[in-house]
Structure formats: structure tokens, C-alpha cells
Amino acid sequence: MTSSIGQLNKLLKCHKFFNQFQRSVANHADNARVLDLEVCKGQGVRLWDKNGKEYLDFIGGQGSVNAGHSHPKLIGAMQDQMCILHQTTRSLNNNILPEFCQTICQMFNYDKVLVMNTGVEACETAVKLARIWGYKVKKICPKDALVVFCTNNYWGCSIAAISSSSDPLLFGGFQPLLPGLKLIPYDDPCSLEEVLKNPNVCGFMMEPIQGDYGVIVPNEGYLAEVRRLCTQNKVLWICDEALTGLGRTGAMLGVDYECVKPDILVLGKSLAGGMYPVSATLASCEIMDLLKPGSHHSTFAGNPLGARVASTMLKLIKEDGLAENACAMGALLRDGLLCTFSKDDMPVLRGRGLLWACKIDPRIGSPCDICDQLRDCGLLMWPCRDEFIRMTPPLTLTEEDVTQAISIFKKVINFMKGCGKVC
């Protein structure tokens, strides 16, 4: 309990940093942390505020604008489809959804896909699939199925998501939480092996890289061991790639680095390039065919507008080499930061592709204070958990963009150390 209270107090230290702008949005609930900045235009990797000031965007819609802001191919697809047919619900078949389903299933080698809107919906879909598979295939007694998650996970703010969270800021005040969800440490094969001995475990959901707690990259071999243990114990491995998937880590999927395939794959965020909310849950026929018509659906899921934009985005990833560029620019960013900052100033830098987090010596300044200064100098980064600074720029980043970002970062840190002028 003491550690939870301490964690909550630590997170609330950033509230002053976000508070001013939140109050200016008078009619919206004070439910999210918001930077003290109002932007009105975006193009590529840049944003502009109402005064015309330009910002290099290393937040990137929290990883949802992989193709950059206002990509012409995505805009074109959206405009074309809006003029023809934009919404049907799944009550009617439309002529666009089948192409998307075929494209995404072939791309990731799964039999079937269930299309939803947001990442949390796709994750909820995966949990429901694991449960029904547990009852009908693994023959777990009704109501006894367990789904295992890792501490420090983040997959949304629904009741199910916060019930599987270790973050008191998310679940505090919203109890009672849902039963049947269990937490174990991340990147700990021994803990996983032990919990999977329980015959009532039907699924294990995890992220190949944990993005919300300072970009935690597991030890090499962990994903392969997850695959082995889940197969050995007849448990479905659910991989949440809403953030890490679609080129973010320098590969199409985060799991590709260990050449393993989860039983259920979750994609979201940038699936439609941030233009439209589209998410997907992919699995085999054995798993998907357990759903009955009418048992799981959504008003907007699978609509022709979202399907058209998502199909265009999947093609764009390949055509524009976004994963390859993320790999190259990520290496450039990593090497540049390591060469620019000493181990004393930046004791932690971790990530892969264009998903990175760093920790700056707290004597220099807090992540919130540093991001405040970076913003004033035209660079947007995200203060993550009041301990790290997270970077999730669009995957269209160039060498010039990386050089500019490192230069601004260096000036800000030098200024906060008292040995230079701010931008």
C-alpha cells in the first residue's frame, strides 16, 4: 500500500505542468494530462500553434501518426471514400472491408481478423477470445478462467484494462475491479512458468516492449520463452502490439525480433495512420470461430471509411519503407544521444526503432520541467511517469530532423545545468 501511495504522489508532481492548459478547455472534463500548448496545423513530423510557431513532433500522437501528419495518400483515400460510402455498421456487408481483411491477414499470417475501433477494444476482444477458448477448448470450468498480465502494462482505461493494471492512478476510485485477471512481473520467465501451472489460465497478454513505463525492452530470448511456455501449458499468448506494431520498432512487429508468432495479435493506434480509429484482433480459425454472430460487435467497427484508410496505411508502410526508416533513424537517434550526453547526465536510454525513453539526472531537472523547456525551443517530447522522457515521432523522420532534435535537446540540458543559453 505504501509503495502504491508513493507512486501516486510521484505521478501527481507533474500536475502543475499540465494544469494551465487543461483549465483553458473549460467545457471538457479534466481527465487527461495535456501539455501547455494549443496546436492548429500538422504536416509530416511538424506541428504549428495558432501563432505560427513550428514544433518538431516527437510525441507523434503517442505513436498513432506513424506516416506523419496529413499524409496525402491517407487524406486522398479518406476523401474518396467519404464521397462514396462512409458507414454501414456490421449489420450490412460493404465492398471495402473484405479487401482490408484479406490484406491484413496475409500480411501477418493469420486466418481471420476482428476489426474494432480502438486499441482497448481490440485488447478486450482478445481477452474475451481467450476466455471462450478456455471454456470450449481447454475445458476450464465455467467462470474459473484466468488471464495473466504483466505489471506496468498499459492497454487502456476501460474497467477490464484498469482491473489488470498495477497503476493506482488508473484503478484508484473505480473499484470493485473485475475478477479473473492476474498480474506477474514483466520479463520474468520463472514467474510466468509458475503461474502457467494453474490449469485455469487460458491466456497471457503482454507487450513486446512496455511503452508506458519508460520503454522497457525485455531481455533477449524472453519472447521466445513466452512462446515456448504458452505452447507447453496450452495457454493462448496474446501480444498487444498497438504501440509497437506496424513498423514502430524498426520491424513490422515487435515480436519479429525473435521470430515468434503469438496466438492472438492486437494492432491499433496507427493502423489507419491516426486519421481514423481502427484496431484489429487477429487469430486462427480455431479461436475466431468460437464467436457466435451477435456476440461481439460495434456500431462503427469495420465501416468502409475506416477499412479504406487502414488498407491504404498498410500498403503505405511497405511502399514508403516506414519500418526500415524507423530502424535507420532510430539507430541515428540512439547514437546521437549517446554521443551528446554523458552517462551522468543521461543514465538511462532504452528503446528500439523509433520508440525511445531516456532518464535525465534529476538534479538537472524533472521530465516535466525539461519537456517544458523543449517545447519552448520547438521540440515536443512526453514526460513519462515523472521519471522518463519518451520519444515516439512519426516514422517519416529524416536525418535532418534527428540532428535538429538532438541539437535542441543538448541546448536545453546545457541551459538547465547553467552552462548555456536556452533556445
Each residue's pLDDT tens digit, 46-80: 999 999 999 999 999 999 999 999 999 999 999 99
pLDDT at 17: 47
The mean per-residue pLDDT over the stretch 356-364 comes to 97
pLDDT at 124: 98
List all residues 6 or more positions away from 316 whose beta carbon is below 8 Å from its beta carbon. Answer: 67, 71, 73, 74, 273, 322
Task: Assess whether pLDDT exceeds 90 at residue 31.
Answer: no
Task: Provide the sign of the torsion angle of the four alpha carbons 297, 298, 303, 305, taken in this order.
Answer: negative
The mean per-residue pLDDT over the stretch 395-404 comes to 98
Task: Assess whether pLDDT exceeds 60 at residue 14.
Answer: no
pLDDT at 398: 98
Q: How far apart are the first and last CA of the chain?
A: 43
The mean per-residue pLDDT over the stretch 115-133 comes to 98
Cα gap 180→143, rounded to integer Å: 8
pLDDT at 420: 67
Sheet holding 279-283, edge to edge: 112-116, 279-283, 264-267, 236-240, 201-206, 146-150, 181-184
Cα gap 248→66, rounded to integer Å: 7
Count of alpha carbons within 13 Å of 269, Cβ hemisphere only? 25
The mean per-residue pLDDT over the stretch 240-247 comes to 98
pLDDT-wise least confident of 31-35, 311-315, 350-354, 366-370: 31-35
The mean per-residue pLDDT over the stretch 192-208 comes to 98
Q: What is the DSSP string of 167-216?
A: -HHHHTTSPSPPSSEEEE-TT-HHHHHHHTTSTTEEEEEE-SSB-TTS-B
pLDDT at 22: 46
Complete domains list, the chain, with CATH: 38-69+322-417 (3.90.1150.10), 72-320 (3.40.640.10)
pLDDT at 90: 87
User: Looking at per-residue confidence, does 2 or 291 come out higher?
Assistant: 291
List all residues 6 or more positions away from 27 whose beta carbon is below 8 Å from its beta carbon. Answer: none
Pairing of strands 46-49, 112-116: unpaired
The mean per-residue pLDDT over the stretch 310-325 comes to 98
The mean per-residue pLDDT over the stretch 204-222 comes to 97
Task: Assess whether pLDDT exceeds 70 at residue 207.
Answer: yes
User: Is residue 291 within 8 Å of 129, Cβ to Cβ?
Assistant: yes
pLDDT at 20: 43
Task: Assess whether pLDDT exceeds 50 at residue 21.
Answer: no
User: Is residue 317 within 8 Å of 327, Cβ to Cβ?
Assistant: no
pLDDT at 26: 75
User: Is residue 353 within 8 Å of 420, Cβ to Cβ?
Assistant: no
